[in-house]
Amino acid sequence: MLHIMTCEDDVEDARQLARALGSCHILHDVDYQVESFRTARQLLLNYEAAHCDILFLDILIGDGDGISVARKIRDLNADVPIVFVTSSRDYAIDSYDVNAVHYLMKPVTPQAVDEALKRCQRVIHDKHRTIKVMSGRMTERVLARDVMYAETFGHRVTLHLRGRDLDTTTPLAKIAEEGGDPFLRCHRSFVVNMDYVTAVHGKSFMMADGSEVPIRTNGSAQVIAAYHAYLFDSVRKL
């Protein structure tokens, strides 16, 4: 069962969103339910007890701005795909700050909602993407989204995960390949998950945990360009 939540304070806009969801091709063969709220307060009061797979959120909700509401949702659930619905693109950069998947302009159409749902599906799929690594004599699967960066020393690779480190003999190139789009081979000895990069400082990436990951000297411009392209593409998709 796919559980979709919507929060929209305007009655007609809420009806249009409901009609668009009901007409979406991507939901025709899916068992789903939609739970709708008219205020941010109602959404937040019910969110903790609810299982939410996708959230459509009015960015100019009457009793609070959608960006602030999204930040509170992120405190409760860091991964739920959020789709902002609005009549203005003025908040596009702010919506990237809360890792929104898409940005729907009013009035919404089934085609636009279909595209938003496809992107949400990709996010949900990536959330469960795993990397198979050898640790000692055991095979372990780690969530790609938990890997901040990986570094190699000789034949040993250390995965720096959220909360722990893991040593493996799985080659760095294979980790980069299985990690998907966010993974960038920035140095012969390092791969970064670009979702954890907070800044570029000289010839290094600054990571969310405070670590500094080197960028190769030969080809550094291409590495930094690839990172900026990833950021730009993430914003452009909103």
pLDDT tens per residue, range 144-193: 999 999 999 988 999 999 989 999 999 999 999 999 999 999 999 999 99
Average pLDDT, the chain: 90
* pLDDT surpasses 90 at 194: yes
| Global confidence as pTM | 0.68
pLDDT at 163: 87
Higher-scoring residue by pLDDT: 105, 88: 105
pLDDT at 82: 94
Six token digits for residue 223: 């590495």
pLDDT at 125: 83
Residue % of the chain over a pLDDT of 70: 94
**Size (the chain), residues:** 238
pLDDT at 60: 86
3-state SS string for the chain = CEEEEEECCCHHHHHHHHHHHHHCHHHCCCCEEEEEECCHHHHHHHHCCCCCCEEEEECCCCCCCHHHHHHHHHHHCCCCCEEEEECCCCCHHHHHHCCCCEEEECCCCHHHHHHHHHHHHHHHHHHCCEEEEEECCEEEEEEHHHEEEEEEECCEEEEEECCEEEEECCCHHHHHHHHCCCEEEEECCEEEEHHHEEEEECCEEEECCCCEEECCCCCHHHHHHHHHHHHHHHHHCC
Give mean pLDDT, residues 45-61.
Answer: 87
* pLDDT surpasses 90 at 85: yes
- pLDDT-derived band at 67, boundaries 50, 70, 90: confident
- pLDDT-derived band at 91, boundaries 50, 70, 90: low
- For 19, 134, 159, the CA distances from 156, given in Å and listed in that order, are 54, 10, 10
* pLDDT surpasses 80 at 117: yes
- pLDDT-derived band at 35, boundaries 50, 70, 90: very high
pLDDT at 22: 93
Higher-scoring residue by pLDDT: 137, 191: 191
* pLDDT surpasses 80 at 97: no
Give mean pLDDT, residues 55-59.
Answer: 94
* pLDDT surpasses 80 at 116: yes
- pLDDT-derived band at 30, boundaries 50, 70, 90: confident
Q: How far apart are CA 50 and CA 5, in angstroms?
A: 9
